[in-house]
Amino acid sequence: MSVHHAARTAGRVAAASAAALTVVLTLAGPASAHAEVEADTPRALAENVTLTFVSEAESKGAGFTRLRVVLPDGIAPGDVSLTDAPEGWKLKTAGDGYTVVGPALKTGVDATYKIRVRQLPDAEQLVFKTVETYGDGEIFRWIELPTSGEEPEQPAPVLKLKAAASNAARPGPSTTAASGASGAASAQSSRTGAAADARPADSTSVRRPVGGHVHRLLAGSVGGQPRCFRRVHLLYR
């Protein structure tokens, strides 16, 4: 073998190794959010704020039927109203949040809806833990928060807020604040149910994303299937 041929061969091997390493490092990166939230007025203590939620469709076999959201501290379920949603979908409040539910959406269609909040709390950011359910019973839980500076695999939707205006009104009593002992008991019961929702399930209908979407161009194959998208789709255990 000539020196030049050996050099070319070594170069091709090195390039292939580098490409494989890029795939591994890319898939090991944090997942991008699949449930997102935006506000028309992302400012602490802002009043009558419209929040827009988008859940990206992950299932290839069914559409969304139910979205369960745990509200952050400072926002009571009674201070939330549904302003826009897929046809036939309704909002049902619970002790610690709400559920938006309705007829199954078409497979591959994102679930988008809007709510109006009476007033945002005085905070730097708000976390809206979200549990998504599909028509075939498949569940995705976007409920995790960053730990030790690392992005989680299933991040909860987070809304970052600007500082409150100097003349912002301080929040008054919530429309559900004086619900009494029975209301407190109901809230505790709902939180218990929400905690069950947030726990990983042993059921095979619940799939946990391993790699998550990766917002990069990537050509090659993963798990034996070709990928050449802006996003690499979820790998399931």
pLDDT in tens, 195-221: 445 544 444 344 554 444 433 333 444
- In tens, the pLDDT along 44-80 reads 999 999 999 999 999 999 999 999 999 999 999 999 9
What distance in Å separates the CA atoms of residue 57 and residue 237, rounded to the nearest whole number? 18
Q: How far apart are the first and last CA of the chain?
A: 45
**CA-CA distance, 97 to 126, in Å (whole number)?**
13
159, β-bridge pairs: 126
CA–CA distance, 65 with 87 (Å, rounded to integer): 12
Structure tokens, 82:
């549904």
Tokens standing for residue 192 = 């218990």
Residue-wise pLDDT for 18-52, tens only, equals 444 443 333 334 445 489 999 999 999 999 999 99
Which of 126, 130, 78 shows the shortest CA–CA distance to 99? Answer: 130
Q: Which of 99, 116, 115 shows the shortest CA–CA distance to 64?
A: 99
What gap in Å lies between CA 60 and CA 74, rounded to an integer?
37
pTM, to two decimals: 0.65
Q: Are 37 and 51 in contact (CB under 8 A)?
A: yes
Residues contacting residue 138 through CB under 8 Å, at least 6 positions apart: 59, 61, 62, 205, 206, 207
